[in-house]
Every structure is written in C-alpha cells, then in structure tokens.
C-alpha cells in the first residue's frame, strides 16, 4: 500500500486549468538539460530558507535534496536491493542500466546534457520541469511570464492532466520504459500511484498562495484526484495497445494483470462471480482506475455509465480470447472515455457533490465492487481525499484508520473485511 497523505488540504476553490496536453514530456523534448547544479546556487534555488521577498521560495533545491525521495532515486540504484535486482536480470549493475536509469534519473541522451548535468542527481529539477536549455537564463527575469517559460520548453507542471502524464511516465511507465513483471519478479516493488496523494506526499517546494494564484491556477484536491484517475485509466488503455503487449508468447506481460489474482495463498479461496462474469481461475486485467472512474461517473454523469461498463466487460472478455481483441476493446473504451476526461478534471465540485461521490464510493465498497486489492487501495485513497476536502476527516478518523488498516498490507487484504469497514464508515457519516 502507498503511504497515506501527510497533510490535509483545507481550501477548496474553483479552478481554471490550462490546456497543454500536447506538451512533450521533459524526457522527450529536444532541450538541453543543464543539470541540478545550474539551479542550485545560493542566488537561485539554493537558499537556506524560503525568501519572503520572492514569489517563489528559492530554497527548492534544499527541500528536494533533504526531503524529496526523487533526489535519492539514483542512489537507490546503488543499494544491495538494486544490485540483487540487477543480478537476477543479468545486468552488470543497476546504476549502469538504461532501464533503471530511465525512471531513477533524468536519463536524457548524451547530446541533450549540458556541461553541469550529472546523472547521479537522480530525478532532478529538469526531469519534471523540462530541460532548461532555452529558459534557464530568461525565467529569472521579472518581465518573464509563466506562459513565456512554457513557450521556451518549461513543462506545465501546474496543469493537472499534464502533471498526471508526467508522474505516470515513471510511476506507471510508458511504451519506452516499463517496470515489467520480469523486473517485479526480480524484486522491484509494485508500482502504485494516485495523483493527489502523491502530490501531497512529495515534500512541497512551493505554495499555492495568493501570488502563486496570480500566476497559475489553483487546483482543488478533488480535481487533482479526478485528473489522475482519468489519465491513469486512459494511459493504461494506451499501454494495452502497445506492441510489446501484443507480442506472441505463451504468457502475456503480467504486470497488466491484478498482481494479487495470482499472488495469494491457495487455501484463501476468494473468487466470486462479478458483473463481467469471468470464470474462476482467470488472470484479470488490472482495471482499478477504470472501475473507480465508473463509480465516479455513476454520480457525475450517470448516462455514460452503461456504455462504459459494457465496454469494460468487453475488454475483460477479450482477455480470454486474443490479444488482437484486447487491443480493439482497449481502443473502443479509450474512445468512449476521451470526451469525458477533460470535463472531469475541470468540473467544479461543491460539498454536496463531494458527499455524493464519497457515499457512492463507500456504497460500492460495501457491496464488494472493489474486491481486488488495487481497486480497494484506490477507493480508500479517494475516500480519504474527499473527507479531507470536506473537512470531516478528523471526526471520521477512527473509521478511516480502520479502513486504511485493511489495505495497508496487500498480502493480508481480505475483500469482505474491506466491505464491512466501508459500511461502518458509511454509517458514521
Ligand atoms: C523521472 C521519473 C519520475 C518522475 C517524472 C516522477 N517520479 Fe516520483 N519517484 C520516482 C522514483 C524512481 C521514486 C523512488 C525514489 C527512491 O525511493 O529512490 C519516486 C518516488 C516518489 C514518491 C515517494 C514514494 C513513496 O514511497 O511515498 C512520491 C510521493 C513521488 N515520487 C511523487 C511524484 C509526483 C507527484 C510526480 C509528478 C509531479 C512524480 N513523482 C514524478 C520517479 C519519478
Ligand atoms: C517505469 C519506471 C521504473 C523502472 C523501469 C524502474 N523503476 Fe525502480 N522504482 C520506480 C518508482 C516510481 C519507485 C518508487 C515506488 C513507490 O514508492 O511508489 C521505484 C522504487 C524502486 C526501489 C525501492 C526503493 C525504496 O527505497 O523502497 C528499488 C530498489 C528500485 N526501484 C530499483 C530499480 C532497479 C534496479 C531498476 C532496473 C532494473 C528499476 N528500479 C527500474 C520506477 C521504476
Ligand atoms: C517530481 C517532480 C518535480 C521535481 C523533481 C521538482 N519539481 Fe519543482 N515543482 C513540481 C510541481 C508538481 C510543482 C507545482 C506545480 C507548479 O507550480 O508548476 C513545482 C513547483 C516548483 C516551483 C514553484 C513555481 C511557482 O510558480 O511558484 C519552483 C520554483 C520549482 N518547482 C523549482 C524546482 C527546482 C529548483 C527543483 C530541483 C531542485 C524542482 N523544482 C524539482 C514538480 C517537481
Ligand atoms: C498470471 C499470474 C501472475 C500475475 C498476474 C502476477 N504474477 Fe508475479 N509471479 C507469477 C509467477 C508464475 C511468478 C514466478 C514464481 C516463482 O518463480 O516462484 C511470479 C513472481 C513474482 C515475484 C517474485 C517472487 C519470488 O518468490 O521470487 C514478484 C515479486 C512478483 N511476481 C510480483 C508481481 C506483481 C507486483 C504483479 C502485478 C503487477 C504480479 N506479480 C502479477 C505470476 C503472476
């Protein structure tokens, strides 16, 4: 299970999100990556503490270096655990392997690396903010706007959809870098991601205060959560259409499936008939983000649910038939979701709607609709986000903690127990 949120997000305002989905990811752009050293001097982002005179903190480097897991991502490749993974995969070393560096560092090609670039910086500033080649000099001038920076290749991290794509490029993977079941089998942790929780859990090196909002939109936690869910669902369906999933081999790429469908003790019989009517003993595609999206749409856009549900069932049925059918079913569901996605992340959700969303998620949890661990995990994180946003997380703490305890250890997850605890939480609302 992923860590829970560390802090509560209190404010809930409307949003006006930008539109920059087509922006290439930092790793894809042609801009030179100048290296963390170019950002970290004491006149730039390397101050000891936040500068009250400046609109940005200017101690971002310190926060990143001392508190942010991204600054240790390269060092992680030098640990015994990483070496053991590399040994099992037949790689000479983890810190020398492209597949590991692609997610644990800013592994851009040699001709995109500036003079001060160091691979050992791990996931540095430009791995998220984009190569600084064209904006490093100009972005510090008072006359430069954020739009100017974006035009010069800065990545729009403030936009929820673009941010989701960025984080997921490493926290789920892309067609070019992916934590396959072979890598998992060698001992890599399962990748779990939820945009709002991970945004909060990444130690903040910025604050969405008044002057921030003059420059950038403020995104409410509910919108961040929905953007993440939508992009994860779409991205999963895109990955399912990739060539390496369709390659013929006796066993397909297993990391697309529910890990715990296979990885649980044999005397713990947990199969039961689900709406898609997959027979016992089927390896089930991991549809966590999609079933959560369906639950959300049940409240926000009920007219779309029947069609989506039937497309999702078709995807599961296709997984029993052939890879070609999986690809076309994934494409069909993707096409049906696409028009809804932007809308979801940009909507304004008042307290009443948030309560309805939470109630629906808990009702579906109680009805054992999230029987698979990855879905239950997402359902918990969603309920927590909504409770923090609604301001009653403190009052509900004992029940929220109990629900969390049931998903904390994926190896001890019992679907029926999760359902009972969800019902109890619903009773306490
Ligand atoms: C270039 C790849 C990459 C990108 C992009 C990326 N991450 Fe990460 N992230 C990692 C790696 C690798 C780790 C694990 C680092 C370690 O522990 O050594 C990590 C760890 C984390 C953690 C700590 C995980 C934990 O156990 O709690 C959080 C939180 C996180 N990332 C959030 C984000 C968010 C939010 C974004 C998008 C704004 C993002 N990441 C973008 C690669 C990336
Ligand atoms: C698709 C991106 C991706 C690839 C490829 C990848 N990793 Fe990771 N790795 C991550 C992310 C993201 C995390 C953090 C997961 C979390 O905490 O949510 C992580 C976590 C880890 C951890 C656990 C760190 C900790 O402190 O718990 C180790 C060890 C690790 N990776 C080693 C490797 C090695 C070795 C390779 C190459 C064989 C590799 N990784 C390839 C993305 C990736
Ligand atoms: C894992 C991704 C990630 C990494 C690594 C990262 N940032 Fe950020 N950064 C973000 C996100 C997300 C935001 C908030 C959204 C926004 O304002 O664009 C942000 C915001 C900022 C802001 C605030 C901008 C404002 O308008 O107030 C600055 C400045 C900044 N980052 C600098 C840095 C520096 C310097 C580093 C390296 C030491 C760094 N960032 C590393 C993701 C990252
Ligand atoms: C269709 C069944 C299936 C699915 C789905 C599946 N695995 Fe596996 N997994 C296996 C098999 C088979 C092995 C090999 C077991 C062995 O070598 O003893 C394995 C091995 C592993 C191992 C190494 C275990 C060991 O004892 O060395 C890990 C870790 C692992 N899988 C994680 C995952 C994760 C994470 C997922 C989901 C992203 C997943 N698996 C999905 C069948 C599956």
The token pair that represents 342 in the structure block: 């932007």
pLDDT, one tens digit per residue, over 381-428 is 999 999 999 999 999 999 999 999 999 999 999 999 999 999 999 999
pLDDT, one tens digit per residue, over 168-221 is 999 999 999 999 999 999 999 999 999 999 999 999 999 999 889 988 999 999
Q: What pLDDT was estimated at residue 22?
A: 65
Distance 238 CA to ligand 2 centre (A): 22
Give the residue, by CA position, lying nearest to ligand 1 atom 38.
167
Distance 114 CA to ligand 2 centre (A): 26
DSSP assignment of 4-27, as one string? Answer: PPSS-------------TTSPPTT
**Angle formed by the axes of helices 351-366 and 415-428, nearest 10°:** 140
Element (H, E) at 146: helix 146-151
Q: What pLDDT was estimated at residue 29?
A: 86
Please choose from 171, 179, 262 the residue to mutate so as to test ligand 4's pocket, defined by most ligand atoms within 8 A of CB.
262
**Is 16's pLDDT higher than 60?**
no
> How distant, in Å, are the alpha carbons of 84, 88, 124, 172, 331 from that of 72?
18, 23, 10, 19, 37
By three-state DSSP, how is residue 303 classified?
helix
Give the residue, by CA position, lying nearest to ligand 3 atom 12.
157
Nearest bound ligand to the CA of residue 167 = 1
The token pair that represents 159 in the structure block: 């936009």
**Is 2's pLDDT higher than 70?**
no
User: Is the CB–ligand 4 distance for residue 261 below 6 Å?
Assistant: yes
Distance 7 CA to ligand 3 centre (A): 18
Distance 73 CA to ligand 2 centre (A): 8
- Under 8 Å CB-to-CB from 133, ≥6 apart: which residues? 31, 32, 33, 34, 114, 153
Give the residue with greater pLDDT, 249 vs 385: 385
Contact (Cβ atoms closer than 8 angstroms) between residue 402 and residue 421? yes
Instruction: Indicate which atom in ligand 1 lies nearest the CA of residue 195.
Output: 35
Instruction: Indicate which atom in ligand 4 lies nearest the CA of residue 261.
Output: 5
Instruction: Band the pLDDT of 14: cuts 50, 70, 90.
Output: very low
Alpha-carbon gap, residue 132 to 120, rounded angstroms: 18
Distance 84 CA to ligand 2 centre (A): 13
Burial bucket for residue 410 (CB in 10 Å: 0-12, 13-18, 19+): middle
Q: What pLDDT was estimated at residue 15?
A: 30
Give the pLDDT mean for 146-164: 95
Instruction: Band the pLDDT of 269: cuts 50, 70, 90.
Output: confident
Burial 98-120 (b: 16+ CB within 10 A, else e): ebbbbbbbbbbeeebbbeebebe
Distance 93 CA to ligand 1 centre (A): 21
pLDDT, one tens digit per residue, over 69-99 is 999 999 999 999 999 999 999 999 999 999 9
Q: What pLDDT was estimated at residue 292?
A: 97
pLDDT, one tens digit per residue, over 317-369 is 999 999 899 999 999 999 999 999 988 999 999 999 999 999 999 999 999 99
**Is 9's pLDDT higher than 80?**
no
**Is 7's pLDDT higher than 70?**
no
Give the residue with greater pLDDT, 227 vs 142: 227
Give the pLDDT mean for 376-384: 98
Distance 133 CA to ligand 1 centre (A): 23
Q: Which residues line ligand 3 (CB under 6 A)?
A: 36, 39, 45, 56, 60-61, 64, 70, 123-125, 127-129, 157-158, 163, 205-206, 212, 215-216
Contact (Cβ atoms closer than 8 angstroms) between residue 326 and residue 248? no
pLDDT, one tens digit per residue, over 18-66 is 333 468 999 998 999 999 999 999 889 999 999 888 889 999 999 999 9
**Is 133's pLDDT higher than 90?**
yes
Distance 89 CA to ligand 4 centre (A): 15
Q: Which residues line ligand 1 (CB under 6 A)?
A: 3, 69-70, 72-73, 76, 103-104, 123, 127-128, 163, 166-167, 169-171, 198-199, 201-202
Nearest bound ligand to the CA of residue 55 = 3
> What is the pLDDT of the chain when averaged over all its residues?
92
Give the residue, by CA position, lying nearest to ligand 3 atom 3.
128
By three-state DSSP, how is residue 189 classified?
coil
Which of 383, 258, 369, 366 shows the shortest CA–CA distance to 305?
369
**Is 249's pLDDT higher than 90?**
no
Q: What pLDDT was estimated at residue 4?
A: 64
pTM for the structure as a whole: 0.95
Q: Look at 12-16, 151-155, 157-161, 321-325 and tell me which has the smallest mean pLDDT.
A: 12-16
Q: What pLDDT was estimated at residue 5?
A: 59
């Amino acid at each position: 299970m992923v860590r829970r949120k560390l802090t509560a997000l209190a404010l809930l305002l409307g949003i006006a999100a930008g539109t920059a989905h087509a922006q290439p990811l930092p790793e894809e752009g042609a801009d030179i990556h100048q290296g963390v050293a170019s950002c970290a001097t004491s006149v730039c982002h390397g101050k000891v503490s936040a500068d009250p005179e400046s609109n940005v903190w200017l101690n971002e480097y310190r926060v990143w270096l001392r508190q942010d897991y991204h600054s240790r991502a390269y060092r992680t490749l030098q640990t015994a655990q990483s070496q053991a993974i590399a040994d099992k995969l037949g790689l000479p070393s983890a810190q020398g392997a492209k597949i590991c560096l692609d997610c644990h560092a800013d592994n851009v090609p040699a001709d995109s690396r500036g003079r001060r670039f160091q691979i050992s910086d791990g996931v540095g500033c430009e791995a998220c903010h984009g190569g600084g080649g064209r904006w490093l000099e100009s972005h510090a001038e008072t006359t430069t706007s954020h739009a100017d920076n974006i035009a010069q290749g800065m990545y729009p991290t403030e936009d929820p959809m673009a941010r989701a794509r960025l984080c997921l490029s490493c926290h789920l993977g892309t067609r070019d870098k992916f934590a396959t079941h072979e890598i998992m089998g060698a001992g890599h942790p399962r990748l779990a991601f939820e945009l709002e929780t991970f945004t909060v859990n990444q130690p903040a090196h910025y604050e969405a205060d008044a002057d921030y909002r003059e420059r950038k939109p403020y995104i409410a936690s509910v919108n961040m959560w929905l953007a993440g869910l939508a992009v994860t669902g779409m991205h999963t369906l895109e990955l399912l259409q990739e060539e390496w999933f369709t390659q013929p081999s006796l066993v397909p790429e297993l990391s697309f499936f529910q890990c715990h469908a296979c990885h649980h003790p044999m005397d713990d019989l947990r199969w039961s008939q689900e709406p898609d009517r997959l027979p016992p003993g089927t390896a089930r595609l991991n549809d966590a983000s999609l079933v959560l999206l369906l639950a959300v749409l049940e409240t926000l856009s009920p007219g779309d649910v029947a069609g989506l549900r039937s497309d999702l069932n078709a995807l599961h049925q296709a997984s029993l038939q052939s890879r070609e059918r999986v690809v076309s079913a994934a494409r069909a569901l993707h096409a049906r979701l696409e028009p809804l996605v932007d809308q979801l992340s940009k909507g304004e959700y008042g307290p009443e709607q948030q309560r309805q969303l939470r109630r629906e998620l808990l009702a579906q949890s109680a009805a054992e609709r999230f029987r698979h661990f990855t879905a239950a995990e997402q359902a918990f994180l969603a309920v927590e986000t909504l409770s923090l946003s609604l301001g009653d997380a403190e009052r509900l703490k004992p029940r929220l903690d109990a629900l969390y305890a049931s998903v904390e250890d994926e190896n001890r997850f019992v679907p029926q127990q999760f359902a009972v605890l969800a019902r109890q939480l619903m009773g306490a609302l």
